[in-house]
Amino acid sequence: MVARHSEEPQLRMVWPAASRRQCPAVHPAAGYSVRTFRAGDEQAFLSLMSLMDFDPWDDAKLDYNMSRIIPDGWFFATDPSDRVVATAMCLHNYTGRSPFTGDVGWVACHPEHRGRAWASA
């Protein structure tokens, strides 16, 4: 379903109410792991955003987005040496029309670590 919130169409996904407390199992590629944010991950995130040519990130932009992350909603994929190689944020996105909605945003994967089915993890 496509909803128009701006000039660009946005995909709207709805998680079934009966499944909201049970997330699917995560199966990353061999040697990789998926975890939530840990204090100190900020610099690895900023480096990845820079590598991916996202809009420039500074402390203010990071603080703003961190204030919108749902509890335990900032994910990192790490390689066998525990380096951050991919990330995604689950952001609360209040609107009057949909007060309990969010976005999966700032999804990025280091080019050397693509093709490992991160989208399904």
pLDDT tens column, 31-71:
899 999 999 999 999 999 999 888 899 889 999 999 999 88
Q: What is the spatial distance between Cα 104 and Cα 91, in angstroms, rounded to a whole number? A: 6
Its pTM stands at 0.77
Q: How far is CA 21 from the centre of its chain?
A: 19
The whole-number average pLDDT for the span 73-102 is 86
Is the residue at 104 inside a domain?
yes
The pLDDT value given to residue 103: 83
Domain range for 50: 30-116
Q: Is residue 84 part of a domain?
A: yes
- For residues 99 and 4, the answer to whether their CB atoms sit within 8 Å is no
Under 8 Å between Cβ of 87 and 77? yes
Helix count and strand count (H, E) for the chain: 2, 6
CATH code of the domain covering residue 76: 3.40.630.30
Residue 45 lies in a domain: yes
Return the pLDDT at 24. Answer: 74
Main-chain phi, psi angles of 44, to 5 degrees? -65, -40
In a domain, 17, yes or no: no
